C-alpha cells in the first residue's frame, strides 16, 4: 500500500514537471529584447507628423537575433490631435497590412511600424522586419518601456 502511494506521487510529480516543461517551451517568445537606451522630453512642440505633439519618450531595443526596435510615444494636447496624426500616418504608409480603429500595422519606406492610438498618445514601434516589431509588441519588454500612459479622466 505504501509503495503504491509513493508510485502515484512519483507519477504525479513527473506529470507536473512534464507539463510545466511543455508549457514553458510553447509560451517562450521567439525573441527576447534588451533595452539599449531611453530618452524623453515634455513641454516641447513640433512633434509628430502635424507638429502638434507636446511630449515624447523613446526607447531602443535589440533582439536576441540582433534586430533593432525603436519605440516612440508622442503625447498630444488632445485626443483629437492624436487621432488626426493617426489618420495622417495611415495616408503616409506605403502599404497598410492591418488597420483597426486604434492600431495600424504598415510598411513605410524601409521599415515596418505598428502605430497604436491610445487616447491622447501615439505609440510607434519601428523595426526593419515586421515580425520583429510584432514580437516586441507582444513581448514582456513592452511592459518595461518608459511609454507614458494617459491620465484617467
* Choices 3.90.1150.200, 1.10.10.10, 1.20.1250.20, 3.40.1000.20: CATH for 33-144: 3.40.1000.20
pLDDT tens profile 70-94: 999 999 999 999 999 999 999 999 9
pLDDT tens profile 112-150: 999 999 989 999 999 999 999 998 888 765 555 544 444
- Is the pLDDT at 151 greater than 50, yes or no? no
> Of the ranges 22-36, 45-59, 63-77, 105-119, which one carries the lowest mean pLDDT score?
22-36
Secondary structure of the chain as H, E, C letters: CHHHHHHHHHHHHHHHHHHHHHHHHHHCCCCCEEEEEEEEEEEEEEECCCCCEEEEEEEEEEECCCCEEEEEEEECCCHHHHHHHHHHHHHHCCEEEEECCCEEEEEECCEEEEEEEECCEEEEEEECCHHHHHHHHHCHHHHHCCCCCCCCC
Residue boundaries of the structural domains of the chain: 1-30, 33-144
- Per-residue model confidence (pLDDT) at position 148: 47
- CA-CA distance, 14 to 72, in Å (whole number)? 46
Amino acid at each position: 500500500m505504501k509503495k503504491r502511494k509513493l508510485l502515484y506521487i512519483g507519477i504525479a510529480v513527473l506529470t507536473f514537471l512534464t507539463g510545466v516543461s511543455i508549457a514553458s517551451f510553447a509560451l517562450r517568445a521567439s525573441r527576447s529584447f534588451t533595452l539599449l537606451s531611453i530618452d524623453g522630453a515634455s513641454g516641447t512642440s513640433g512633434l509628430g507628423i502635424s507638429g502638434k505633439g507636446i511630449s515624447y519618450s523613446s526607447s531602443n531595443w535589440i533582439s536576441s537575433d540582433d534586430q533593432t526596435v525603436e519605440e516612440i510615444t508622442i503625447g498630444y494636447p488632445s485626443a483629437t490631435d492624436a487621432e488626426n496624426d493617426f489618420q495622417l500616418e495611415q495616408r503616409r504608409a506605403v502599404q497598410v497590412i492591418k488597420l483597426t480603429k486604434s492600431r495600424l500595422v504598415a510598411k513605410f519606406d524601409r521599415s515596418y511600424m505598428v502605430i497604436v492610438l491610445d487616447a491622447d498618445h501615439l505609440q510607434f514601434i519601428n523595426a526593419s522586419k515586421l515580425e520583429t516589431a510584432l514580437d516586441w509588441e507582444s513581448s514582456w519588454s513592452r511592459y518595461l518601456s518608459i511609454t507614458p500612459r494617459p491620465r484617467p479622466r
